């Protein structure tokens, strides 16, 4: 698999646990911590509120601690809290690029290419994302979305779909087999999809999302639980975790 980077972390060889932060009070606390239960901090600026002045300064503190930050301003059209104009959202992304390692923007967004261009100039990574909270589209439809994101210049593509049964799970594994040679994150949402948050990561999905304070998506588990399950189920993740934390194998 080809690799990308988010901060100093390589993306593609082993899965990385992303801890979503959606509450302002969590930011007030987390910038002072050194032992974090995730590999990458996702700052959901749309949920926290773009009027909170300390967000970017806290992002810089987290980055300084050695944990890369992925900043997201998710549109309400794909499950987020952003209802404003995209021109304003683009301005916020551009403002944030000097304080974070990566940004996430929906592939369907009118500002998708503009965010990619700004991130490229800043030397930062872009996650191009797609979310369907109702269903899991057909395999070829998902593959087309992934290819669209990659052609536009996304470094990593993230696809999250609602899981209703075994056929939906099989579809995501099929997509991973077809498109997983480049960094690809696949997520099964909902109660039925909970196990796939671990199994897809073990099979090659490059990012696994949990929450640091409050669930940001159906079926999302705490990032600490996700990290623990990956250490138990995914040998490559366990080896990498021990190496990065200077620990000896048990």
**Which parts of 153-222 fold into alpha helices (H)?**
166-179, 196-203
Q: Is 131 a catalytic residue?
A: yes
Q: Is 158 a catalytic residue?
A: yes
The residue annotated as part of the active site, out of 94, 158, 178, 232, is 158
Q: Do residues 38 and 216 touch, judged by C-beta distance below 8 A?
A: no
The residue annotated as part of the active site, out of 4, 47, 124, 131, is 131
Candidates 116, 194, 100, 193; CA nearest to 148 is 116
CA distance 42 to 209: 9
- Residues near 48 by Cβ (< 8 Å), separated by ≥ 6? 21, 22, 23, 24, 27, 55
CA distance 196 to 169: 7
> Is 214 exposed, middle or buried, given 0-12, 13-18 or 19+ CB atoms closer than 10 A?
middle
What are the beta bridge partners of residue 209? 18
Q: Do residues 187 and 216 touch, judged by C-beta distance below 8 A?
A: no
Residues that are catalytic = 131, 158
């Amino acid at each position: 698999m080809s690799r990308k980077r988010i901060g100093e972390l390589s993306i593609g060889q082993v899965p990385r646990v992303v801890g979503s932060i959606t509450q302002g009070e969590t930011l007030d606390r987390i910038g002072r911590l050194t032992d974090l239960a995730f590999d990458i901090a996702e700052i959901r600026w749309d949920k926290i509120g773009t009027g909170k002045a300390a967000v970017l300064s806290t992002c810089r503190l987290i980055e300084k601690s050695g944990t890369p930050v992925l900043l997201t301003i998710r549109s309400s059209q794909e499950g987020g809290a952003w209802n404003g104009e995209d021109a304003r959202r683009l301005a916020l992304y551009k403002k944030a690029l000097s304080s974070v390692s990566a940004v996430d923007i929906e592939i369907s967004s009118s500002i998708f290419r503009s965010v990619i261009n700004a991130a490229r100039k800043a030397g930062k990574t872009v996650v191009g994302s797609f979310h369907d909270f109702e269903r899991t589209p057909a395999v070829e439809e998902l593959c087309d979305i992934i290819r669209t994101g990659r052609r536009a210049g996304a470094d990593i593509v993230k696809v999250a779909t609602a899981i209703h049964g075994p056929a939906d799970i099989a579809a995501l594994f099929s997509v991973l087999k077809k498109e997983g040679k480049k960094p690809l994150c696949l997520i099964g949402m909902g109660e039925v999809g909970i196990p796939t948050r671990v199994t897809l990561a073990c099979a090659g999905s490059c990012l696994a999302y949990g929450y640091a304070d409050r669930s940001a998506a159906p079926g999302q588990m705490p990032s600490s639980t996700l990290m623990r399950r990956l250490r138990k189920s995914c040998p490559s993740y366990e080896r990498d975790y021990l190496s990065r934390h200077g620990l000896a194998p048990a």
